[in-house]
Amino acid sequence: MKKKTNVKWISLCIILLIDILFLPSLIRLPNYVREYKIDGLSVWIDEFNLFHAIREVIHSQGLLFGWLFMQFFVLVLILLIFWTDGPKVRNRIIDGVGGPEAAGTGQFGTSRWMTEKEVKQSTTIWKMKEFVLAGGIVLGAVLAGRNPFAYVDASDSNTIIVGATRSGKSRRVILPTIYMLAHAGESMVITDPKGELFDRTSGFLKEKGYKISCLDFRKPGYGNRTNYMEPVLEALRKGDIALATKYAWSIAHMFVYQKPGANKGEDIWRDGPESVIAALILAVAMEAPKEEQKHMYSVYKMLVELGRVKKVILGGKIIEYVPLNEYFESLPVDHPARDAYATAFLAPERTRGSFFSSASALLRLFADPNIAYLTSKQDHDLTDVGKEKTAVYLIIPDEDTTRHPYAALYVNQTYDALVEYANQSGGRLPVRVNMLLDEFGNMPPFPDFDTKLTVSLGRGVRWNMVIQAYGQLVEKYGANITETIKSNAQNTVYLKTNELKTAEELSKKTGSYTVATEGSSYNVGKSSTSRGASTNVAKRFLLEPDEIMRWPTDYSLVLRGGMLPAKLPLPDLSLWPADEEFVSSSGEIERKIEKVEFFVPGVDHEPVEGSEDYDDDKEFEPGSFMDVD
C-alpha cells in the first residue's frame, strides 16, 4: 500500500512540473505556426525558454486563458490517479454467478478469471474444418461470426469432465471433441451409452478414412466380436507363459473388483474367487483341444459343471468330491493353472464352495447365449487404434450397469496391448489414442488406474473421464486413489453437478481473492447519538459452492493445472458445423447367433478309480455305507 502511495505522489510532482514549466511553452506553439508557417516548429524549438514562456503567459490574456483552460484536464488526471486503485478485476459472469470486484492488495488471494488473450495463449485455437497436427479435448468454442473457432487442449493431458444427467456433456463436449479429433486423425476408444454416438459419428469417421469397430453390449447380435482371453492366447502362441499368466490374473482381477465396495472386508473373499477365475482361464487356454473352445464361456461352464459337489460309492461308502479339485490336482505340479488355483485349493471345503459361488456370480452373464457368442472370437486387433486412425465404440446400456464390466475389461485390455506395442515402437504409439469414457463413474474400477494415468501420457494414450460427481470415484476407488486420479487429470471441465461436496471442492479449486466489506454502527446515548461506518477486506472464493451449482448451461468452467480458471462459451452441437456433417450410420451388421462350442474336461466321468456314480434313488441295505464329511 505504501509503495502505491509513493508512486502516486511522484506522479503528481511530475504532472505539476510539466504543467508549470512546459505547458506555457506548449501553449505558445500555435502562435509560432501562424507567424512562421512551416518553419514555426523549428523556430519554437530554437527560442524555447521555460521562464520566458511563463512570463509571456502571465502578461498575455489569451495565453493565460488557454493555460487556465488546460488546468481542467490536469485536475481530472490528478483525480484519476488518486481516486482509483488501477484496473478492477471483474469477477461476475452473469447475474447471480460470480463475485464482486477485487479490492485491497491481495491480502486473501489474487485469483481471477483468465482473460481472452490468456486463454488463446494457453490453448490451441482450432479454426473449424482446418486440418491440425494434434487434436484434443474441446474446452469451449466461439461459433458466431465469419471465423468460428474452438479452444482445444492438444497437449498430452488427462481430463475429468464433471456433468450431471442432462447437463449436455455429449452434445457440448464429447461430440465436438470427436469432430475435432477426426480432423487431427487421432484414434478414439468411446464408451457409448445407448449407441447414440455411434449412430451420429461412425458414418462421418468412415468418410474421414477411419477404421471402425463396434462392440454392442446392448444388442450383442450386432457389431464386432471380442475374446477376452485373446491376450492370454496370444502370449501363449509366443511361448510367453509368464505374460499369459499376468493377463489371466488381470482378467480375474477386473471381474472380482467390479462391484462397489469390493475392496472392503477380508482379502480372502477377494483373493479366493480371483484365484479360481485365473486358474480356469489358464486351464482353458492351455488345455482345451480346439481354438474355438478357448473363451470365457468355457471358463464359466467349467466352473459350474465341475465345481458342484458329486457323490460316488466307493467300498460301500458314499464319498463326496468336487471334480474341479480333482482336475487341477491331475495337472502337472508346475502347471500355471494349478499354481493359480493354490489359494482356493488350500482353503477349507466350505470356504472353497463360497469362492465358487462368488466366481460363478461374477461370470454369470457369460451364460447369456448372446454374450457367449459375442465374446467367443476376436475379429479385430486391439492395437489397431495405436497403429492407424481407428474408432472403437463400446455401446453399453445406461439403464443396466451389469454389462459395464465388459466394456471396462475391453478398455483395460486395449490399454495393456497398447503399452506392449508402444514398448516395441520406441516407447510411444505411432497414432495417439484418446479414451473418451462417458459414464466412467458407473464403470467398475480399473486395476492400478492411478498408475495408468501417470505413465500413459508418455506412451500416447490420453484419458477423458466423464463423471457426475467426485463421489462416484470415491465409491469405486477409495479416497486415496481418487485424490491421485484427480491430481493426474491436468484438466477439469465442469458443466453441472448435484453433489454439494463436488461443488465445494470445485469452489476451492477456483481459488480465493480479496473483496471489500462494509460495516456500520449506530449508538444512542442519553444526550447524544453517534453513527459510524467502516470498510475492510475479506476472503472470497472466485465461485462459491452455490454459484457452482447454478453454473450457466452455455459455459464451461475450465480448471487447468497451474493456470487461472477460465469461463468459456460452450455451445450446443446444433450450432457446430458438425451437426450437418454428422450423418446417421447405416447401422451395425446383424449376425446370426450360433451355438458356442465349449470345453469341460471329462474328469467327472471317472473321478476316482474303482468307484461308481452315486444314485440318490438307489436303495441300500442298512449299514452298507457310512456318511463322509
Q: What is the pLDDT of residue 147?
A: 87
582 compared with 586, residue with greater pLDDT: 582
Asked whether the beta carbons of 589 and 293 are under 8 A apart, the reply is: no
pLDDT tens by residue, 211-244: 999 999 988 888 899 999 999 999 999 999 999 9
The grid cell for 76 is 481530472
User: 118-148: string of b/e by CB count within 10 Å (b at 16+)?
Assistant: ebeebbbebebeeebebbbbbbbbeeeeeeb
pLDDT tens by residue, 421-450: 999 989 999 999 999 999 999 888 888 899
Rg value, the chain, Cα: 37
103 compared with 332, residue with greater pLDDT: 332
pLDDT cut 90: percent of the chain above it: 51
Tell me the average pLDDT across 590-611.
Answer: 65
Per-residue pLDDT at 621 exceeds 50: no
Per-residue pLDDT at 303 exceeds 60: yes
Per-residue pLDDT at 31 exceeds 80: no
Per-residue pLDDT at 208 exceeds 60: yes
Q: What is the pLDDT of residue 352?
A: 85
pLDDT tens by residue, 459-500: 999 999 999 999 999 988 889 999 999 999 999 999 999 999
Q: What is the pLDDT of residue 225?
A: 93
Predicted confidence band at 586 (pLDDT cuts at 50, 70, 90)?
A: low
Helix 296-306 vs helix 349-362: crossing angle, to nearest 10: 150
- Which domains are present in the chain? 2-83 (no CATH), 120-226+379-498+563-581 (3.40.50.300), 230-369+599-613 (no CATH)
Query: Which of the residue ranges 39-53, 139-153, 410-424 would you say has the lowest mean pLDDT?
Result: 39-53
Predicted confidence band at 134 (pLDDT cuts at 50, 70, 90)?
A: very high
Per-residue pLDDT at 338 exceeds 50: yes
62 compared with 262, residue with greater pLDDT: 62
In one-letter notation, the amino acid at residue 307 is G
Per-residue pLDDT at 176 exceeds 60: yes
pLDDT tens by residue, 32-55: 677 777 776 776 676 666 666 676
Asked whether the beta carbons of 328 and 283 are under 8 A apart, the reply is: yes
587 compared with 362, residue with greater pLDDT: 362
Mean of all residue pLDDT scores within the chain:
84
Per-residue pLDDT at 174 exceeds 70: yes
Q: What is the pLDDT of residue 52?
A: 66
606 compared with 543, residue with greater pLDDT: 543
Q: What is the pLDDT of residue 614?
A: 40
Per-residue pLDDT at 506 exceeds 80: yes
Continuous H helices in 440-523: 449-459, 470-477, 479-487, 500-509
Cα separation, 44 vs 594, whole angstroms = 103
Tell me the CB-side half-sphere exposure of residue 328, using CA atoms within 13 A.
Answer: 27
Q: What is the pLDDT of residue 30?
A: 76
Asked whether the beta carbons of 363 and 300 are under 8 A apart, the reply is: yes
Predicted confidence band at 617 (pLDDT cuts at 50, 70, 90)?
A: very low
